[in-house]
């Protein structure tokens, strides 16, 4: 077990003018399960590969425990990495596949046997040890790949999109298995994915990256509820957060968010920063699909009376446990989550109301959150 410290890491590939990883600075605690998430090409694999010693570090220092590892060769870093493409040796049994790396290291036979059995127990593949990979399902094969990583008893586990090749149902199952594995081993894990659902369900702490740069580091709940900028707000959560452009106006002592088609009253507790810095200025309001409510009789309270949006139902999408309405009005679109049992006709007019206590405001220039 060990902590991992990335100290202002830069990576510039030869011939590339842009940094693929840009001033990455983060400490991963001993025994932590950290998830790195971001769109394809944001530098996730590059970062893991630098930590694993498979790629040179252009600038900065990486520590595993108290040891600076910049110049330590990959095999001496005491790290195991599981990739998306878990190539098993097809002619070797599961047992031999798991034992292979240990044999290369000339470990004593008895010790190898003990470790393989222990890993097989943890992964519940004891009864498959004599089978060939071709006799196993994709999920079982991925467990063998995990077994190969476990037996090395590394200080740090690295996983680079290990579930991307599995079908949706198996992915959910393996997510849970990896979580269980982590709880049993209690080893520091750094898990990379481009899938925000995986990040949200697995990580105790999530790092959101874009273009080689850390955007936000926080718990899944905080990332979802308090995104620091528009990128995080739209990347995390499905469907993505709705954004509406408008400006802040003061009318008769009240503070409103105003667009071409409607004005929305901003609740008192949320006004201070907006009134201080944004009166008359352009601003972007973000609202999640579940925070758009029907404007109905029982919502005729003060705060909703001044927060009406007239829209038309463009598309209704039924997802089983949820349904989404794609609402349309000449110059804006909104996605709203509704109870799947409610009936809506496409083309029907609908008055809705964002929950103004839960909307987010962003600066259109910096895209950073204001409040
Ligand atoms: N060997 C390489 N040579 C040059 N550029 C690379 C190389 N590997 C990755 N890159 C670039 O670095 C950036 C980050 O890539 P990568 O770390 O693979 O992203 P991710 O794993 O998040 O999809 C991308 O722009 C990619 O094109
Ligand atoms: Mg990658």
**pLDDT surpassing 90 at residue 213:** yes
Q: Per residue in 224-267, pLDDT tens?
A: 999 999 999 999 999 999 999 999 999 999 999 999 888 999 99
On whether both 251 and 194 belong to a single domain, the answer is no
242 lines ligand 1 (CB under 6 A): no
CATH of residue 333's domain is 2.40.50.140
How many angstroms separate the CA atoms of 335 and 241, rounded?
8
Q: Is residue 91 part of a domain?
A: yes
Q: Is residue 368 part of a domain?
A: no
On whether both 308 and 188 belong to a single domain, the answer is no
On whether both 51 and 95 belong to a single domain, the answer is yes
Beta bridge partners of 309: 352
Q: What is the pLDDT of residue 122?
A: 85
On whether both 103 and 215 belong to a single domain, the answer is yes
Beta bridge partners of 208: 37, 216
Report CA(306)–ligand 1 centroid distance (Å).
Answer: 49
On whether both 226 and 247 belong to a single domain, the answer is no
Q: Per residue in 168-189, pLDDT tens?
A: 888 888 898 899 889 988 899 9
The average pLDDT across 76-103 equals 92
Q: What is the pLDDT of residue 167?
A: 84
Q: Per residue in 90-137, pLDDT tens?
A: 999 999 999 999 999 999 999 999 999 999 998 889 999 999 999 998
Q: Is residue 369 part of a domain?
A: no
Q: Is residue 79 part of a domain?
A: yes
CATH of residue 139's domain is 3.40.50.300
20 lines ligand 1 (CB under 6 A): yes
Q: What is the pLDDT of residue 158?
A: 96
Q: Which of 235, 267, 297 is the last residue of a domain?
A: 235
On whether both 195 and 103 belong to a single domain, the answer is yes
pTM: 0.93
Question: How many domains would you assign to the chain?
Answer: 2
Q: Is residue 371 part of a domain?
A: no
45 lines ligand 1 (CB under 6 A): yes
Instruction: Name which residue sits closest to atom 9 of ligand 1, judged by CA.
Output: 46
In Å, how far are 70, 217, 349, 355 from 303, measured between CA atoms?
A: 57, 33, 22, 9
On whether both 193 and 268 belong to a single domain, the answer is no
On whether both 24 and 163 belong to a single domain, the answer is yes
Q: What is the pLDDT of residue 117?
A: 96
Q: What is the pLDDT of residue 165?
A: 82
**pLDDT surpassing 60 at residue 300:** no
The average pLDDT across 357-361 equals 96
**pLDDT surpassing 70 at residue 288:** yes
* Contacting residues for 334 by C-beta, under 8 A, at least 6 apart: 242, 244, 287, 292, 309, 311, 326, 327, 352
Q: Per residue in 36-45, pLDDT tens?
A: 999 999 999 9
| Pocket perturbation via mutation, ligand 1, pick of 14, 18, 46, 49 by most ligand atoms within 8 A of CB | 46
**pLDDT surpassing 60 at residue 297:** no
- Mean pLDDT (the chain, rounded): 93
On whether both 63 and 189 belong to a single domain, the answer is yes
Report CA(13)–ligand 1 centroid distance (Å).
Answer: 8
Closest listed residue to residue 257, CA positions, set 267, 247, 269: 247
Instruction: Name which residue sits closest to atom 14 of ligand 1, judged by CA.
Output: 43
Q: Is residue 93 part of a domain?
A: yes
46 lines ligand 1 (CB under 6 A): yes
Report CA(322)–ligand 1 centroid distance (Å).
Answer: 37
43 lines ligand 1 (CB under 6 A): yes
On whether both 104 and 151 belong to a single domain, the answer is yes
Task: Note the ligand closest to the C-alpha atom of 160.
Answer: 2
Report CA(194)–ligand 2 centroid distance (Å).
Answer: 8
193 lines ligand 1 (CB under 6 A): no
329 lines ligand 1 (CB under 6 A): no
Q: Is residue 327 part of a domain?
A: yes
Q: For ligand 2, a single-atom ion, which residues have Cβ within 5 Å?
A: 45
Q: What is the pLDDT of residue 54?
A: 95
* Contacting residues for 21 by C-beta, under 8 A, at least 6 apart: 9, 10, 11, 43, 46, 47, 50, 212
Ligand 1 atom with least separation from CA of 15: 4
Q: Which domain holds residue 143?
A: 4-235
On whether both 162 and 37 belong to a single domain, the answer is yes
Q: What is the pLDDT of residue 86?
A: 76
On whether both 204 and 147 belong to a single domain, the answer is yes
Q: Which of 177, 210, 235 is the last residue of a domain?
A: 235
Q: Which of 188, 210, 235 is the last residue of a domain?
A: 235
Q: Is residue 367 part of a domain?
A: no
Q: What is the pLDDT of residue 83?
A: 85
* Contacting residues for 149 by C-beta, under 8 A, at least 6 apart: 80, 81, 82, 157
Q: Per residue in 52-75, pLDDT tens?
A: 999 999 999 999 999 999 999 998
* Contacting residues for 218 by C-beta, under 8 A, at least 6 apart: 205, 206, 226
Q: What is the pLDDT of residue 30?
A: 97
**pLDDT surpassing 70 at residue 301:** no
Instruction: Name which residue sits closest to atom 24 of ligand 1, judged by CA.
Output: 41
**pLDDT surpassing 60 at residue 302:** no
Q: What is the pLDDT of residue 261?
A: 87
Task: Note the ligand closest to the C-alpha atom of 49.
Answer: 1
């Amino acid at each position: 077990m060990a902590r991992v410290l990335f100290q202002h890491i830069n990576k510039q590939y030869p011939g590339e003018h842009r940094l693929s990883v840009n001033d990455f600075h983060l400490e991963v605690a001993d025994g932590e399960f950290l998830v790195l998430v971001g769109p394809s090409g944001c530098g996730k694999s590059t970062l893991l590969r630098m930590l694993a010693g498979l790629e040179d570090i252009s600038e900065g220092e990486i520590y595993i425990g108290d040891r600076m590892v910049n110049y330590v060769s990959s095999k001496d870093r005491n790290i195991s990495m599981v990739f998306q493409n878990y190539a098993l040796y097809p002619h070797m049994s599961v047992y031999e596949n798991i034992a292979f790396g240990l044999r290369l290291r000339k470990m004593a036979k008895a010790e190898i046997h003990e470790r393989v059995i222990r890993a097989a127990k943890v992964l519940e593949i004891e009864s498959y040890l004599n089978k060939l990979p071709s006799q196993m399902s994709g999920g079982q094969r991925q467990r063998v790949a995990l077994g190969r990583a476990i037996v090395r008893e590394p200080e740090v586990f690295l996983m680079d999109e290990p579930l991307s090749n599995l079908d949706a149902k198996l992915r959910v199952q393996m997510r849970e298995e990896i979580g269980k594995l982590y709880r049993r081993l209690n080893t520091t894990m750094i898990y990379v994915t481009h899938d925000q659902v995986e990040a949200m369900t697995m990580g105790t702490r999530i790092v959101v990256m874009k273009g080689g740069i850390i955007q936000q580091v926080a718990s899944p709940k905080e990332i979802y509820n308090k995104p620091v900028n528009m990128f995080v707000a739209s990347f995390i959560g499905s469907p993505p957060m709705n954004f509406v452009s408008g400006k802040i106006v003061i009318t008769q002592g009240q503070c409103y968010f105003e667009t071409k088609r409607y004005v929305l009253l901003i609740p008192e507790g949320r006004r201070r920063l907006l009134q201080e810095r944004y009166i008359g200025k352009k601003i972007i309001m973000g609202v999640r699909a579940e925070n758009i409510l029907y404007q109905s009789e029982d919502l005729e309270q003060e705060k909703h009376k001044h927060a009406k949006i007239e829209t038309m139902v463009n598309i209704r999408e039924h997802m089983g446990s949820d349904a989404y309405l794609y609402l349309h009005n000449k110059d804006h679109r909104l996605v709203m989550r509704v109870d799947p049992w409610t009936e809506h006709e496409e083309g029907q007019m609908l008055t809705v109301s964002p929950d103004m206590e839960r909307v987010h405001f962003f600066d259109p220039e910096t895209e950073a959150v204001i409040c």
